[in-house]
Amino acid sequence: MKITQKLFAIVVAMSALMPLALLPSQAHAQQYNQSQATPRIEGFNVDEVRRLDPGAELNFDIYGTPGGLATLRIEGATRNLILVETEAGVYEGTYTINSRDKIAARSPVTANLRVGNQVVSAVLNESLQVGVGYHSAKVMPGPQPSIDRFDVEPVADLSGGNDLRFTVLGTPGGKVDLAIKGVKGKVLLPEVNNGEYANTYTIRNRDRIKSNSVVTANLRVGERVTSVILGKALQSAAAPVRAARICNNCGTVEAINLVEVKGEGSYLGTIGGGVVGALLGSQIGEGRGRTAAQIAGALGGAYAGHAIEGKSRTSNHYEVLVRLQNGATQTVSFTAEPGYRVGDKVKINDGVIVRNP
């Protein structure tokens, strides 16, 4: 009875203290929310279609903060679209137009990217139909937006994982996006200071960027758009030249030949064959005829004995010809079928061929 009362008292005390402390899951969530940075949308793209008829498919891509939930709202569409994160920070989705949709070429499309409890939005600044381009620029009073400077910090290597830092200086209060040849979609540059737009693009493995790839910056203020092409290379002049490494004992099987080596008869086979031939010749004719037959039989038997012994000593083997990476060739012999085929990648170690995966 006393033990039960003590346990009850302990439970009551713990219940009183519980509100003062967060459960582990709550503490983790609170820590995550406090340390979580604002999500970003760095690119927003659509594959334009020729006609916006029912059944047509609109393929969208969003590039931004990984691990989020990306959704799209198309004006005139009867439903929203949820995009799937196909790789880190890349969200893709397809909207199939149905007969109830009222989607036009310039229907606004809004993307929302939620990471945790924070949401960032972006509006697609291109049309959904081929040939229409940007939303039409209305004749508005005031000066045309200008781009005073468009720059990039070149990198030594344009392979996946490296960063390209772009900067645009121009009319403040606008929106800037980049179109990079070899990159699917557009890269968005937020305004980091008054009239200064900047962002870093991380090259993806599927990109096909070259040093001289054309990069176009578009600055949009209201309904007016100004475009400028980057005037410098994306790769630094001091880019390291990767010398091809040559493996001197690595190569490719170029030919496999079956070689037959004929044996030579010895004097024993010649003498034995001659004796047999002479004995057979002695059975033919009489007098000089018998002598001639003996001589002929001896000569023929000697030749036959020599040939038969040589035939019995004939052997076959295989020769594998390997073309090495340094241009040389090397031949390796096998007494039996080698098990290689022309085109196989191999290495030769101390006269022995091994496969080179």
Give the model's pLDDT for residue 203: 87
Give the model's pLDDT for residue 113: 92
Q: Which of 296, 294, 308, 300 is nearest to 266 (CA)?
A: 308
**Structural domain boundaries in the chain:** 2-35, 41-123, 147-229, 243-262+314-357, 265-309
Give the model's pLDDT for residue 317: 78
Give the model's pLDDT for residue 301: 57
Q: Which of 249, 268, 242, 246 is nearest to 351 (CA)?
A: 249
| pLDDT profile of the chain (357 residues), mean per 10 | 52 47 41 59 84 90 88 92 88 91 90 90 83 54 82 91 92 89 84 92 87 90 86 78 68 84 56 50 53 54 56 74 83 84 86 83
Q: Please say whether the structural domain 243-262+314-357 has been given the CATH code 2.10.260.
A: no
Equal CATH topology for 41-123 and 243-262+314-357: no
CATH number of 147-229: 2.60.40
Residue 99 to residue 53: CA distance in whole angstroms = 8
The CATH class given to the 41-123 domain equals: mainly beta
Q: Which of 134, 130, 51 is nearest to 97 (CA)?
A: 51
SS3 percent helix, strand, coil of the chain, rounded to 5, is: 20, 40, 40
